[in-house]
Amino acid sequence: MGGFPSIKQLFLLLFKQFFPPACPLCSHTFPSGYTDVFCPSCQSGFKPLPEASCSLCSLPFAGKSNSSHLCGRCIKQLPAYRQVYAVGLYEQSLRHAIHQFKYNNKIGLDRSLGILLEQTVVSHLNIDLVVPVPLHRKRLQQRSYNQALLLAREFARIRNLPVARDLLLKVCETESQQGLSAKERVKNLLGVFKLQGVVSARTILLVDDVMTTGATVEACSQVLLAGGAEAVYIAVIGRAI
């Protein structure tokens, strides 16, 4: 309707005048009318997954190849989960954003990264429940928040889905997985995650910030499926190679 703006509209206009929308990562003011989540400069540093990547675990292939085949690791041992959705490669701006979010207390990035995650997971996927990859109690005390839970909450808020924050429990602290082979990583995670609750016949979206070999999401998926889940899909922000 035309006519005079409402008090709320006036307030919003004034608010925008004094606090113009800015990039949540670098704080640069957005150009007027800009609608993307991050500023053009940060956005240009986000590297999407190449067309040529594994259709199950999203591992990018070196060079150009047919996009619809599986990587060597998935052929050797099919993952327990159905598919991985990743916002982009764990490089440049996306890596920086995840670091700021995870280690530098920039918790407010959950909203922007959550929006990107939601845009990445196909809308026709029938998800019943969103589950974050858990942190061990000790790590949670150090960091004070679980970054995967914040992302899961944002995703679930946009899609209007329930989040099961304590469905999975990390019962032992694992040493850094760096330097271990994929096989060693899976072995290292045996018995580390426990299910506390019922998941019968539910399709689950398991959320984490970064996926490297996929050993963590694989271990969580196995526990969820053993507990009766119908299917597990994975959603991550960064796909590391």
**DSSP-derived pairing of the beta strands 203-211 and 83-89:** unpaired
Does residue 140 bind Zn ion (CB under 5 A)?
no
- Name which position in 46, 49, 53, 56 contacts Zn ion (CB under 5 A): 56
Name the token pair of 130. Answer: 């969103």
Task: Please tell me the distance from the alpha carbon of residue 127 to that of residue 135, in angstroms, as a whole number.
Answer: 23
* Cβ closest to Zn ion, residue 5 vs residue 31: 31
Distance CA 232, CA 221 (A): 6
Site string for Zn ion, 17-46 (x = CB under 5 A): ------x-xx------------x--x----
Residue 136's nearest CA partner among 176, 85, 108 is 176
Q: Which of 54, 164, 206, 232 binds Zn ion (CB under 5 A)?
A: 54
State the nearest-atom distance from the C-beta of 220 to Zn ion, in Å: 17
**Total number of residues binding Zn ion (CB under 5 A)?**
11
* Shortest reach from residue 59's CB to Zn ion, in Å: 5
Query: Please, what is the end-to-end C-alpha distance for the chain in angstroms?
Result: 52
Q: Which is nearer to Zn ion, 199 or 237 (CB)?
A: 237
Separation of alpha carbons 72 and 183, rounded Å? 13
Q: Is 57 in the site for Zn ion (CB under 5 A)?
A: yes
Q: Which DSSP state fits 9?
A: H
Residues 65-94 that bind Zn ion (CB under 5 A): 71, 74
**Of 180, 164, 172, which is closest to residue 232 (Cα–Cα)?**
164
Q: Which is nearer to Zn ion, 84 or 156 (CB)?
A: 84
The encoded tokens of residue 108 equal 């407010």
Binding site for Zn ion (CB under 5 A): 23, 25-26, 39, 42, 54, 56-57, 59, 71, 74
